[in-house]
Amino acid sequence: MRFFPRPTGRRLLVLSVVSRTLVLAMLVLFAMWTEYANLKLGYNHPRLVELAHGPAMRMFYEASDQWLSLFGEPEEVVRLNAGMTWSVRVMGVPFTDPVAALSLLVKDHQWPLGFALGLIVPLGLALVFGRLFCSYICPASLLFFAITRVRRMLSGYLYFPRIPSPRGMAWGVLVGGLAMAVLYGHGVWALILPYFATGQTLFHAVAFGTLSAAAVSLVVFGLVDLFLGDSYTCRTLCPTGRILGALGGRALISVRRDAAACKEGCNSCEIICHFEVSPRLDETRDCSLCGECLVVCPTQCLSIGRKV
């Protein structure tokens, strides 16, 4: 049974770009709504907002009021839709970063109920779809996706090595990050997790008009990907990806191969894969269902479907 017909690789790639762009837009929107909530709490009237912050802020306040009122009481809508990549609520449904949960448990020895419930969806998605987060949700991976294209384009003129990526390195980053969180606080993850750095950078830029230190991390991650290998940060350094990859090793939905149609000696799918998955060997661990292997497969023997 296939979830998609065979020629869906390009559609999946387009979907992954669109979905991550929407996540970025959501993070920007949530940052703007934080400012709106502060204005609502402090002034609660367009005229007072204008007197304190000028006509532009009044326009923003009134536009937010009108938009949010379409979905209910503005203050309630903002409360139900808030947060950043560490922990976020969308229409009241909580989503918690697994690394955030581990950090809170190690440092504070507790999980608030809502925080714990927020793990259900991310972990459930990993068990069903593997590392889906990395190709369809993670806002930082959109940057790495673009850098991969630049790297491939420049590879015709410049030499770019592909450095081996031991799986254990991300576990080391996780352990080291947890130790630093215990010593210095949870904020250290903004410098370690690419998607956390993305959310922090966007929040500071939109809400405060400044750049955070996390922006430096994003530059470093980008340079790592450019010079060390396609999606090197996601594949080798990101502990969240490693956790989700481990959970998704037996994902229900994965890349499937029609062995009869598979061309002997062909390794196009293995070469193109950012996460060093080899569909030709029927590997699925770390697969993010990005669809690139479906695009390059010369015999179209790969598809996305229920694992048999």
Q: pLDDT for 17-76, tens place per residue?
A: 999 999 999 988 888 888 888 888 888 888 888 888 888 888 988 888 888 888 888 888
Question: Is 231 in the same domain as 263?
Answer: no
Question: Do 232 and 272 share a structural domain?
Answer: no
Q: Point out the domain boundary residue: 194, 229, 246.
A: 246
CATH code of the domain in which 293 resides: 3.30.70
pLDDT value of position 98: 93
| pTM score, whole prediction | 0.86
Query: Does 242 lie in the same domain as 156?
Result: yes
CB 129 within 8 A of CB 286: no
- 296 occurs within a structural domain: yes
Residue 4 scores a pLDDT above 50: no
Shared domain for 241 and 151, answered yes or no, is: yes
Its domain, for residue 293, covers 252-306
**Residue 152 and residue 227 in one domain:** yes
**What confidence tens digit (pLDDT) does each residue in 228-278 have?**
888 899 989 999 999 998 888 888 898 889 888 998 889 898 888 888 888
Own/partner pairs, 77-80, CB within 8 angstroms, 24+ separation = 78/33, 78/36, 78/37, 78/40
β-sheet bridge partners, residue 93 = 90
Among 206, 226, 246, which residue terminates a domain?
246
| Domain termination site, one of 201, 226, 246 | 246
The yes-or-no verdict on residue 9 having pLDDT over 70 is yes
Looking at the domain assignment, is residue 111 inside a domain? Answer: no
SS3 per residue for 256-293: EECCCCCCCCCCHHHHHCCCCCCHHHCCCCCCCCCCHH
Reply yes or no on whether the pLDDT at 107 is more than 80.
yes
Whole-number pLDDT of residue 1: 41
Q: Give the count of domains, the chain.
A: 2
Q: What is the pLDDT of residue 308?
A: 65
Are 223 and 275 members of one domain? Answer: no
Look at residue 82 in the predicted model and tell me its pLDDT: 81
Which of the pair, 215 or 249, is modelled with greater confidence?
215
Q: How far apart are CA 138 and CA 173, in angstroms?
A: 18
Instruction: Record the tokens describing residue 141, joined without a space.
Output: 């991976």
pLDDT tens across 71-92, in order? 888 888 888 888 877 788 888 8
Asked if the structure places residue 261 within a domain, the reply is yes
Q: Is 236 contained in some domain?
A: yes
pLDDT tens string 129-172: 999 999 999 999 999 999 988 998 898 888 887 777 777 899 99
Same domain, 152 and 242: yes
**Does residue 172 lie in a domain region?**
yes
**162 and 268, same domain (yes or no):** no
Domain presence at residue 148: yes
Whether 123 is covered by a domain: the verdict is no
| In a shared domain, residues 241 and 271 | no
> Is there a single domain that holds both residue 166 and residue 237?
yes
232 and 293 belong to one structural domain: no
Judge contact between 252 and 127, C-beta under 8 A.
yes
Domain assignment present for residue 60? The answer is no
Q: Are strands 87-90 and 93-96 parallel, antiparallel or unpaired?
A: antiparallel
Q: How many helices, marked H, and strands, marked E, lie in the chain?
A: 17, 5
pLDDT for the residue 43: 87
Domain match, 184 and 225 both: yes
